Structure 1
Amino acid sequence: MGSPVSIRDVATRAKVSVGTVSNVLNRPEVVAPATRERVLGAIEELGFVRNDAARQLRSGTPRAIGLVVLDVGNPFFTDVARGVEDTASDAGHAVILCNSDESAQREARHVELLAEQRVHGVLITPVDTDLAAVRRLRARGMSVVLLDHPTDEPDLCSVAVDDRAGGELALTHLLAEGYGRIVMVNGPSHIHQARQRLEGALDAVRKAGRAESVLEELKVPALNVASGQRAAEQLLARSTRPDAVFCANDLLALGVLQVLVRAGVRVPDEIAIVGYDDIDFAAAAAVPLTSVRQPRQLIGRTAAELVIAETMTPGEHRHRHVLFAPELVVRDSSRKVRR
C-alpha cells in the first residue's frame, strides 16, 4: 500500500515551488495559465487529492473514518452505523456517513469526497462486486474494511454474515412447514447479498430433494418497502398465487405484508412470509415477521475496530475476514397452525 501523494510530489513533477501548487489549488487566478496547466497535469497524473482535512486535524478536531452504506434508510444499516459510531467515538474518532443508494455513481462520488477529507479509514458496503471504489481508496494509501461483504482479498479486512447460509435457513424452514410454491422477492443481481441469499435458498431446495421449480425468483429494482409492495401486487394478480414468499430483506417483506393484509389475504394461512435482517420492525409488524437475524451492531463494532487498528498500527496489522453465522427467528408470518 503506497503513501498518499503530497503537494511536494506535485511540485517536483511540475517543476514549480510548493507555493505555486498551493496557489493553483486555492488562488488559481494569480498563476500564469501555462504554469497552472502544468500543475493541473501533474495533479491528474499523480492522482493527488488535496488535504482539506489538514487544518481541522491541526486544530485538534477528532480523526474521522468514513462509512459508505447501500441505503441509510434501511434500519439494518442504521443499526450497523450505531455499532460503528459507538466504537469510533470510544477511540476518539468521528464518523462521516455516506449513502450510496445502491448507485455505483453515487458511491464513486462519496469515495472521492472521503479521499479529499483524508479520513483515516473507510468502511464500505460496495455496490458492485468488482470493488473498483475500494481499489481506488487502497491505491491512495487508505485503510479499508468491507462491511457486510465477505472477501478473500489478502490486503483487505472484511466483516459480514454468511448470507448463503441465511438463505438456506429461510428456505429449509419454509419447506419443512410444507410450503411448495415459493417466490423469492430479490434485489438486483449485482448486489452481493441478493445473489448469495438466492444461492442459499437454492441449496436448501436441492438438499431437500425438491425440484428447483419449487422456488421462483421475482426480481425488484431496489431493496425497499415500495418494491415489496409492487411485488405483492404482481403476485396477487396471478391466477395461481404462491403459498410462501421469501424476501431478500425485511423492508421488502414488510411491503409485501402490507399489501397482502390490505387485500384480505390471511398470513400465513394463504401466503407465508419470511424476511431477512430481523430489524426491530419485524417483530412489531401487523403479523410478526419470521426473519433471518444478523448481529447488526456487532458487525459495525467489529468493522470499526479493524479499521481503527489498521490506521493506528499499520505495520503490525494483520488483515482478518470475519464471518458471523445468521440465525432464523420464527414468528407468526410463516408458522403453520397445527390442528
Structure 2
Amino acid sequence: MARIEDVAARAGVSVGTVSNVLNRPQAVAVKTRDRVLAAIAALDYRPNEAARSLAAGRSRTVGLIVPDVTNPFFADVARGAEQVADRRDVVVMLHNSGESAEREQRYLGRAETQRVQGVLVSPVHRAGTAVDELVRRGTPVVLLDRGAGRHGLCCVSVDDQAGGRLAARHLAERGHRRLAYVGGPLSVPQAAARLAGARQSTGATIEVVETAAVSVTEGRAAGTAIADRSPADRPEAVFCANDLLALGVLQAVTRRGLRVPADLAIVGYDDIDYAAAAAVPLTSVRQPRAELGRIAAELLFEEIDSPRLPGEIDSPRQHRHRQVVFQPDLVVRQSSGGDQRG
C-alpha cells in the first residue's frame, strides 16, 4: 500500500505539500496540486482518515441535524447540502432529532466531540443555548429553515408568511370564505408563520386545527374530524402546514365520500414530489428545497475556510454572517379547483 512519502517522492514535493493538497487544497498552487493528484492516482494512494483527522485537528465531516428524516422536504435539503460537501471530499453525517429538543442537544454535543468541521441544523423550536455553546467554542453553525434571531449566525430560510399569504389568497380568489388551517404544533416557528401569513391575506374566517406533528397520520386524523362534520359546519377549504398533512387530509376526506375540490378544496406546502402524484394532484406552496441545502452548505464552508481572529485556536472567524431568505411560489393543481400545472 502506497504511503504519503511515496506520493511526495513521485510528485517531487514535500510530505507537507501532499498533506495540504489533501486537507487544504486551496493553499496549494494549481500546477503543484495537479502534480500531487496525478501521483495519488498513479499510486492508488488511500489516505488514512483517522490520521488525517488527527493531523488536521478535525474530521472530514459536517453534521446535518433535521427534525424528521422521513419528511421528503428534508431529504431534498440533505441532497443539496451533499452536492456541495461532495465537491470538497467531505461527508455529511445526517442526524434525526425526531422533533425532540433534548435529542437535538445531544447530537450537537456529539458533533463537537467528533470534531466535525461545522454543523447545519434545522432546530426543533428556536436555536438555543446548545447552539450558542457550540459556536462559542469555535464550531461554525448555519441554521436551516430558520431565521437567525439573536444568535448572529448564518441562516437560510423561506419567507413562510409570504407562503401563507399565497395559499389563503388563492383560496379566497376561488370564492372560499370559511377556511381551516391544519398544522402544528404552533410552537414551531414555520407553522406559526404560515398561519400568520394566511390571516394577513384575506378577510375569510380561518379556523385552526392544530396537530401534534406534521405527518400523514396527523393529517388523516384532522381530515376525518373535518369530514365528519355537517356541511354547514365544515370549512370550504383547508390550507395545510405541509404536504404530508395535506395528503393525509386528502386521503381521509375522500374515504368519507367528500369530493375534492367540489366539497373541500385543499392546499399544501413544500411541493414535494408526492404532491403532483396524489390521487387528486395537490396544489402546494413550493419551496426551493435542494437550493436551501446547497446555499446553507456553501455558507458553512465559507465560514470554515475563513481565517480566525488573532487569539486562541478557537477564537471567532473573520466571517460576515448572512441571512438568505427565499420567496416561495404557488403551484396550482386540481385539489384547489385550478388547472393542473407543475
TM-score of the superposed pair, with normalisation by structure 2 = 0.78
What is the deviation of 1:56? Answer: 6.0
The AA in structure 2 aligned to 1:323 is V
- Alignment match of 2:65 (pick from 44, 68, 81): 68
Deviates more, 1:129-138 or 1:222-231: 129-138
1:219 aligns with 2:210: yes
**Matches of 2:223 and 2:61, distance apart in 1:** 42
The AA in structure 2 aligned to 1:104 is A
What is the deviation of 1:148? Answer: 0.5
Contact 2:117 2:140 in 1 (8 A): yes
What is the deviation of 1:151? Answer: 2.3
1:323 aligns with 2:325: yes
Corresponding position of 1:149: 146
Contact 1:152 1:321 in 2 (8 A): no
The AA in structure 2 aligned to 1:294 is Q
Matches within 5 A, 1:228-307: 228-239=219-230, 240-307=233-300
Contact 2:141 2:300 in 1 (8 A): yes
The AA in structure 1 aligned to 2:321 is H
Contact 1:62 1:92 in 2 (8 A): no
Structure 1 alignment gaps of length 5 or more: 1-52
Deviates more, 1:137-146 or 1:218-227: 137-146
What is the deviation of 1:202? Answer: 0.7
- Alignment match of 1:138 (pick from 116, 135, 138): 135
2:147 partner SS: coil
Deviates more, 1:259-268 or 1:226-235: 259-268
Contact 1:66 1:114 in 2 (8 A): yes
The AA in structure 2 aligned to 1:177 is R
**Matches of 2:121 and 2:336, distance apart in 1:** 33
Contact 1:250 1:291 in 2 (8 A): yes
Contact 1:146 1:156 in 2 (8 A): yes
1:335 aligns with 2:325: no
The AA in structure 2 aligned to 1:196 is A
**CA shift digits 1:282-311 (9 cap, x unpaired):** 000000000000000000000000001101
Corresponding position of 2:301: 308
What is the deviation of 1:272? Answer: 0.4
Contact 2:59 2:117 in 1 (8 A): no
**Matches of 1:196 and 1:115, distance apart in 2:** 32
**Matches of 1:130 and 1:309, distance apart in 2:** 21
2:292 partner SS: helix
Corresponding position of 1:179: 176
Corresponding position of 1:111: 108
1:333 partner SS: helix
1:292 partner SS: strand
**Matches of 1:125 and 1:231, distance apart in 2:** 26
What is the deviation of 1:153? Answer: 3.9
The AA in structure 2 aligned to 1:296 is R
Q: 1:79 to 1:162 in 2, by over 3 A?
A: same
What is the deviation of 1:152? Answer: 4.1
1:317 partner SS: coil
Q: How many residues align?
A: 279
**Matches of 1:166 and 1:101, distance apart in 2:** 25
Instruction: Show structure 1 runs of 4+ deviating over 6 A.
Output: 59-62
Corresponding position of 2:160: 163
The AA in structure 2 aligned to 1:184 is Y
